[in-house]
């Protein structure tokens, strides 16, 4: 009978092909995490503040657009991607997109990572780990150092103290 040996030969050939394919795939694995994060920092906060924000420069070192769709950190149960429009912050629709080779700076008064519902204080010098989730399934991690920052408070609590055009009568004096 020749049936059985022939079957074995076919199976062996298939196995070799599968092994070759796997080796090839691992060599060509796509490089996830194509953003470089420079000068990251996070604003100090007390538990009463409940909120903080993280900043830094995101540089896309790849030749394709990269979109940050979410962010996480052990320091905060919820992080939103915010932009500031007309002096008020809001969630950035669609996340932060950085074109190939370009940079996006997160800074007070502009784009930022908003930390919501802080369970404990962030003190000057603290190192806070963050993970940025990308639309392609990749992730980028970075560590931000906490520092005191007094500006941009109006962006966080919607107070009108900085708004000279407000028709509301100031209560002070
Ligand atoms: Cu915000």
Does 82 map to a domain?
A: yes
Residue 10 in domain: no
Distance 137 CA to ligand 1 centre (A): 24
Those residues whose C-beta lies under 8 Å from the C-beta of residue 167, and which sit 6 or more positions away, are none
Provide the 10 A C-beta neighbour count for residue 7: 10
Assess if residue 104 is contained within a domain: yes
Residue 50 Cα to ligand 1 middle (Å): 12
Is residue 100 one of the residues assigned to a domain? yes
| Strand 35-43 with 139-147, pairing | parallel
* 58-90 per-position pLDDT tens digit: 999 999 999 999 999 999 999 999 999 998 999
Which residues span the domain enclosing 106? Answer: 35-163
Ligand 1 centroid to residue 70 C-alpha, Å: 14
Tens digits of per-residue pLDDT, 118-165?
A: 999 999 999 999 999 999 999 999 999 999 997 655 444 444 333 333
- Report yes or no on 173 lying in a domain: no
pTM: 0.71
Residue 141 in domain: yes
53 alpha carbon to ligand 1 midpoint, in Å? 7
Which residues lie at CB < 5 A from ion ligand 1?
A: 82, 89, 114
Cα of 34 to ligand 1 centre, how many Å? 25
CATH number at residue 46: 2.60.40.1890
Is 172 domain-assigned? no
Would residue 86 count as lying in a domain? yes
The pair of structure tokens assigned to 75 is 């320091």
Based on the structure, what is the number of domains in the chain? 1
Residue 56, number of CB atoms within 10 A of its CB: 21
């Amino acid at each position: 009978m020749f049936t059985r040996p022939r079957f074995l030969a076919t199976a062996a050939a298939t196995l070799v092909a599968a092994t070759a394919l796997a080796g090839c795939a691992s060599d060509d694995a796509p490089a996830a995490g194509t953003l470089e994060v420079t000068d990251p920092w996070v604003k100090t906060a007390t538990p009463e503040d409940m909120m903080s924000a993280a900043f830094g420069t995101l540089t896309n070192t790849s030749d394709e657009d990269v979109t940050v769709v979410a962010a996480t950190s052990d320091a905060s149960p919820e992080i939103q991607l915010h932009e500031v429009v007309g002096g008020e912050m809001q969630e950035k629709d669609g996340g932060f997109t950085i074109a190939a080779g370009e940079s996006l700076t997160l800074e007070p008064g502009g784009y930022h990572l908003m930390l919501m519902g802080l369970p404990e204080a962030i003190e000057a010098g603290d190192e806070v780990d963050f993970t940025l989730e990308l639309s392609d399934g990749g992730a980028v991690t970075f560590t931000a150092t906490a520092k005191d920052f007094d500006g941009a408070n109006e962006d966080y609590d919607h107070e009108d103290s900085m708004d000279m055009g407000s028709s509301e009568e100031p209560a002070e004096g």
